[in-house]
Amino acid sequence: MKALDVLRSRQPWLITPEALDHFAARTAAFATGQLFRDDPPTHPLLDIEERIGIVRLHGPLIRRPSLIESWLFDAVSSEDAISAIHQAVKHDKVESILLDIDSPGGTAMGTTELAEAVADASKEKFVYAYTGGLMCSAAYWVASQADAIYASPSARVGSIGVIIPFLDKSEAFERAGLRMEVFASGKFKGIGTPGISLTEEQRELLHAEVTEIFGDFRAAVLARGRKIPDEAMEGQTFSARQAQRFNLAGLAKDRDAVLARLRRLHGSKVDTVARSIPHATMKTVEDQLSEALAQIKTFQTEAGERDYELKQLSEELGQTKTSLEAKEAELATTIQAQESALAALNQTLEAERSGSREQLAGARTEIDQLTQQVTGLTEANAQLAAREQDLEKRAALRAAQIAAESGSQSPAHITPAGNHSPDQAPQSAAEVWNRQFQPAR
């Protein structure tokens, strides 16, 4: 079984899939000798700068990372991080804490305890979380317990979700002619064994585990009163501006800007111990007055924070307004161009319609003329037919007259040339008429 399979299987992860892919690439490079370090890197988790304790959480968060995980993945021990936070809370020179985070997430084991350590520290001192890179999944769970969360413009925030990767190698085993048999004391004992597919009950068990961890994740994220909508907790990551719109984080120029905010809070947090340990004695008037003055100072500091945020929002609003005006001008130009193109198209269509109407009128005129000609020809044809019938009647009548004059009882066969030679002069009117016809031969 490969080292990567051991790393990825049998435990839920609160991490981005991209980070798991990065782990795979690093592990493969190490296994082939392409990656090796003589000395494991050290991670100073706690630094103190101007009375601010900076806890660096750079890399995947794993409860007790192995040597390989530390070397290959620059993993951060969540237990070491808890110890660093405790030291920052107890340190006399530390008045506030900054979690400097650049992490894609980590394992579910150890994350809950680290997040609780941050929540407890916020009861004693101001705790801010900041990222200039990644603050995803387990890292966001931890950051969500701070008093405030900030991200630089290019950072990525979110990935609120749980993942349990499972590599099913059963088909690969079958193609290789191998068959894995598992003898286990229970139906869930063999989950994740290489070469064995998951049963439906095992899938339901893993899904229930994911659902349970996500329920704790969601509750922790919302515990500090952040109004994060459900659609922002579907495992996706956001840019800093998107995270601000979904109330996941505020937008800060860089880490120095966040440190400057923390410095303005020095000495202004009121009665931090009293929030967890109630007072057993009555407070004097001087104590009450001191507390009131401290509260006023706190309010002034918070007002300064709000003014700074309002100033940033005003600048962003101005930029957005300028961008909107530019978009409106561009849209107006586009609309004008479209209207001009539409007017030209309408003119072209109107010209084509006019030409078509003229052609149609000419065609109709030609049709009317042809119709009149057809009507005239029909009438002429009818007249010719009538004349032909009249001629036939007249010829038949004359033939009857000739037959009567000649005393013949059989009908005469006559032709237009008559029945006499054309050189002979006609002797009578009947002969003149008959000369128009020739006897049929």
- DSSP string across 81-123: HHHHHHHHHH-TT-SEEEEEEEE-EEESTTHHHHHHHHHHHHT
Angle separating helix axes 200-222 and 111-122, nearest 10 degrees = 10
Q: Give pLDDT, residue 7.
A: 56
Q: Give pLDDT, residue 140.
A: 93
Give me 229's structure tokens.
């909508």
Is residue 106 a contact partner of residue 13, using CB atoms and an 8 Å limit? yes
pTM of the model: 0.53
**Residues ≥6 apart with Cβ < 8 Å to 69:** 7, 60, 62, 75
Q: Which residue has the tokens 């994220």?
A: 221
Reduced to 3 states (helix: H, G, I; strand: E, B; else coil), residue 375 is helix
Q: Which stretches of the chain drop beneath a pLDDT of 70?
A: 1-11, 18, 20, 22, 25, 28-43, 266-291, 293-295, 297-298, 300-302, 305, 407-441
Q: Give pLDDT, residue 43.
A: 42
Q: Which residue has the tokens 């008559």?
A: 418
CA atoms within a 13 Å half-sphere pointing along the CA-CB vector of 71: 13
| Gap between the terminal Cα atoms of the chain | 125
Strands in 76-77's sheet, in edge-to-edge order, are: 13-15, 105-107, 61-62, 76-77
Q: Report CA torsion sign: 403, 406, 407, 409.
A: negative
Cα gap 213→108, rounded to integer Å: 8
Integer-rounded Cα radius of gyration of the chain: 52
Length of the chain in terms of residues written: 441
Residue 148 pairs in a beta bridge with 128
Q: Report CA torsion sign: 410, 413, 417, 423.
A: negative
Q: Give pLDDT, residue 318.
A: 87
Tens-place pLDDT, residues 123-151: 888 899 999 999 998 899 999 999 899 99
Q: Give pLDDT, residue 271.
A: 34
Nearest to 147 by CA among 43, 258, 40: 258
Secondary structure E strands in 159-298: 237-239, 250-251
Cα gap 175→334, rounded to integer Å: 61
